[in-house]
Structure 1
């Protein structure tokens, strides 16, 4: 490993009793591993749910799975270089199991996940709320151009890449009528991506502040009527039901927001058959989607107001302040370790 100025790093370790800053020994990267100095991490809604007790997670652990940083050390058998600025995937896959061989590496039978692993396990530096993170073999890391600001690049590893996977599942939105349910970070990103490809994009959300944000990315508040494609990022059973009933002939509904138990939604099989309807789900994403996310943000970082969606970062010492939901006009809090 290249000589580092410190042999320990600081990390914000979360447990049910709160967040504690700890010093952690810097590991020696093994084969295929990268040690990355974290420049900025954004706070995904799933982390807020974890801290609020609405989502099970190992404790203690280092949370945070949306981040950007620079490679400071690496083991053998890597395709990167010291100093590269990268974002990385949420999932680390084995590459050998039946799911990986079928192309579902995000659902690897032995999957490990950034920001979701026990601090007391064999991968303590697994989250972005730390000065350094160790990326094991099986993580996809994608180089980000320096001209893309940290606050724009960091969400690529979760929100943006997930939207790229949802768009692939839906098919080309060019020239089509699109409904996006939920104007959080994923919904706003979907609005922007579909608008860039020439779609007519309608957006639904109960909060006027979010609808106004969506306008700035090419969305129009929903006015009803049939649609060709619909995306649900809200996780609301009512929104899913309404979107399903809006699909025109040959329409597709992509579900990406239903990541917790909730009410069931009924499907009329005859309507699906006669309408040639498709309903599919997307959870996490593949490495190609992360590459597409970086390409998309690189194209649009200076033409769309991505930076306005992310709050000014706090330091690790103040990280407890970001574990409350941000104002609705701000979609991501941020930490700068």
Structure 2
């Protein structure tokens, strides 16, 4: 194959299928065939006009793929490897980071590659940016030097694996932020509130339970709450359980009411991690005296580091349930419907598309 198909976003809810030549790889680059691309909520926000994004572009940043080519060897050029340092081979199934970092700036040297000063992002670049095949809503993607790549184990299906590269990595990063603020290695013996049981919240629920947390989940959807409970959580009702207090509150709903309920639910010395507000939600009022007197800590997480991607894959590989929570892919040409129409089953965490899916 010498050409690829990509769905170019033209603004609002308009897309156009383009055929483009496969690029000639430079040293250190990797070309993958996209097996499954997930529909992340942030792409829905973009298409609906709730968040700014470069346009025209190829959206999609939550994917799994198969390595079909690697860049040539060259003196002083990086050899394509996974996060753990193993050389990548044609035929490897892989997931990759949303962010592409330079690796050299002060932020990268400090270990904050997600906020690299020269950051590029999968599914967030204009088609004329000089990075061809930069988004997941395509048959192929080019992964530049600076992309964190990790292999997918044989027991993890493509649909479940696609969760790792955005929702999975971010959820794991949120859990790490909470434990770091508490000065702990795990959550054993602690009460954890998860606000919002979409893809991020459900993965965070499973991750928190896996390291000992007693997790309660709040969401408006009974079906989503039922799914979260399958991973060891219980339901938290913001009205009947209003007096309950938690050591950790993880906010994934991205709503003012969600932020307020997460903060109100903390006990003395508690930690709140904000994750869901990736588009403007307006100002949220709070009483600073509450934070001061109760020794509360509030932090935010946006994107993640390579180690979080690896841990997300490990977490997803532990339970076959994840595969059934991701919808069978629609054809790439039905991207518009996949983005704007809800899944028929409300328990589904992600809709997906794939270039080789059958109508």
Indicate if the aligned counterparts of 2:251 and 2:273 stay in contact, CA closer than 8 A: yes
Indicate if the aligned counterparts of 2:45 and 2:279 stay in contact, CA closer than 8 A: no
Indicate if the aligned counterparts of 1:62 and 1:124 stay in contact, CA closer than 8 A: no
Distance 1:219 1:110 in 2: 39
Indicate if the aligned counterparts of 1:117 and 1:124 stay in contact, CA closer than 8 A: no
Aligned to 1:3: none
Moved more, 40-49 or 263-272: 263-272
Distance 2:142 2:21 in 1: 11
Aligned to 2:85: none
Match of 2:61 among 51, 60, 65: 65
Match of 1:108 among 116, 141, 144: 116
Moved more, 229-238 or 272-281: 272-281
Distance 1:74 1:296 in 2: 28
Question: How many residue pairs were aligned?
Answer: 329
Distance 1:316 1:261 in 2: 29
Aligned to 1:173: 187
1:8 pairs with 2:3 = yes
Structure 1, unaligned runs of 5 or more:
1-5
Match of 2:29 among 30, 33, 36: 33
Aligned to 2:20, what secondary structure does the other structure show?
strand
1:257 pairs with 2:290 = no
Match of 2:153 among 132, 145, 159: 145
Aligned to 1:121: 129
Indicate if the aligned counterparts of 2:38 and 2:351 stay in contact, CA closer than 8 A: yes
Aligned to 2:351: 333
Indicate if the aligned counterparts of 1:48 and 1:325 stay in contact, CA closer than 8 A: no
Q: If the length of structure 1 is used for normalisation, what is the TM-score?
A: 0.94
Indicate if the aligned counterparts of 1:97 and 1:108 stay in contact, CA closer than 8 A: yes
Aligned to 1:280: 299
Indicate if the aligned counterparts of 2:50 and 2:280 stay in contact, CA closer than 8 A: no
Distance 1:46 1:322 in 2: 14
Structure 2, unaligned runs of 5 or more:
74-78, 82-87, 180-185
Match of 2:315 among 296, 300, 315: 296
Aligned to 2:7, what secondary structure does the other structure show?
strand
Distance 2:235 2:353 in 1: 32
- Assess, with a 3 A threshold, how the Cα gap between structure 1 residues 7 and 229 changes in structure 2: closer, same or farther: same
Q: CA deviation at 1:239?
A: 1.6
Moved more, 311-320 or 262-271: 262-271
Q: CA deviation at 1:164?
A: 0.6
Distance 2:224 2:155 in 1: 27
Aligned to 1:295, what secondary structure does the other structure show?
helix
Aligned to 1:209: 223
CA RMSD across the alignment: 1.4
Distance 2:10 2:119 in 1: 22
Indicate if the aligned counterparts of 1:174 and 1:194 stay in contact, CA closer than 8 A: no
1:135 pairs with 2:135 = no
Indicate if the aligned counterparts of 2:64 and 2:162 stay in contact, CA closer than 8 A: yes
Aligned to 1:140, what secondary structure does the other structure show?
strand
Matches within 5 A, 1:237-256: 237-256=256-275
Distance 1:274 1:53 in 2: 40
Q: CA deviation at 1:14?
A: 1.4
